[in-house]
Amino acid sequence: EAGVTQSPTHLIKTRGQQATLRCSPISGHTSVYWYQQALGLGLQFLLWYDEGEERNRGNFPPRFSGRQFPNYSSELNVNALELEDSALYLCASSGRGSNQPQHFGDGTRLSIL
Amino acid sequence: DAKTTQPPSMDCAEGRAANLPCNHSTISGNEYVYWYRQIHSQGPQYIIHGLKNNETNEMASLIITEDRKSSTLILPHATLRDTAVYYCIVRVSETSYDKVIFGPGTSLSVIP
């Protein structure tokens, strides 16, 4: 069974640009979660999508947005990039039902120059 | 803020059991205890979770105290590949609500 896949593995942008990160969940999973992990910091919750709808978002500005497609894959968009957006962005998916564990991909390393 | 507290670091001799403690004194009745680990440059890996009963799988055992205010993750025979940051989190996940807060975790070093 394929795990959560994220692309690209690495992404280099400059300040003010826009970045798009992609995530394919485990087959059969309907929920997708996005986290930011800045260097030396813990995982910070960004967004939760389930059945195509945004269910919850963390304490991040509106320039962080995303969507979930009918096939349950997801995109994270970051507009007007700032230097402090440099981080590892992790995607996780979970199956239907209560208390299904989240399974993570290996992330996209976003570097802002 | 994370609802769990863990020691920042621990060492364990290779081949011995690694016992990683976690305090979650404010856990609610419907919150589960989850454990993940993160090896450098990889995404977190799910290990195990439980509500109030002890749980065991092929990776580890989870011991939850009767009052549910603390738990211990046990890796029965630690290997060098178990060196990682271990995260203990409490989480309630329903169809309409899901919130996860990761703390700084415990950095486990397995020593040859």
B3-29 per-position pLDDT tens digit: 899 999 999 999 999 999 999 998 888
> Is the pLDDT higher at A78 or at A43?
A78
The amino acid sitting at A49 is Y
Write down the pLDDT at residue A87: 97
Rg of chain A in Å (alpha carbons): 13
pLDDT value of position A42: 84
Report CA-CA distances (Å) from A99 to A46, A56, A85, B92.
19, 16, 30, 7
Is residue A12 predicted with pLDDT exceeding 80? yes
Q: Do A99 and B105 touch (CB under 8 A)?
A: no
Q: Closest Cα partner for A80 from A13, A16, A11?
A: A16
Strand partners, B38: B85
DSSP code of residue A65: E
Cα distance between residue B39 and residue B79, in whole Å: 13
Residue ranges of chain B with per-residue pLDDT less than 50: none
Q: How far apart are CA B13 and CA A104, in angstroms?
A: 28
B103 inside 8 A of chain A by CB: yes
With beta carbons less than 8 A apart as the criterion, state whether A112 and A80 touch.
Answer: no
Contacts B102 to A, Cβ<8 Å = 35, 42-45
Query: What is the enclosing helix (H) or strand (E) of A72?
Result: none
Evaluate if residue A56 carries a pLDDT over 80.
Answer: yes
* φ/ψ of residue A84, rounded to 5: -75, 0
At A96, the pLDDT band (50, 70, 90 cuts) reads confident
pLDDT at B75: 97
- Mean residue pLDDT of chain A comes to 94
Verify whether the Cβ–Cβ distance A102 to B94 is below 8 Å: no
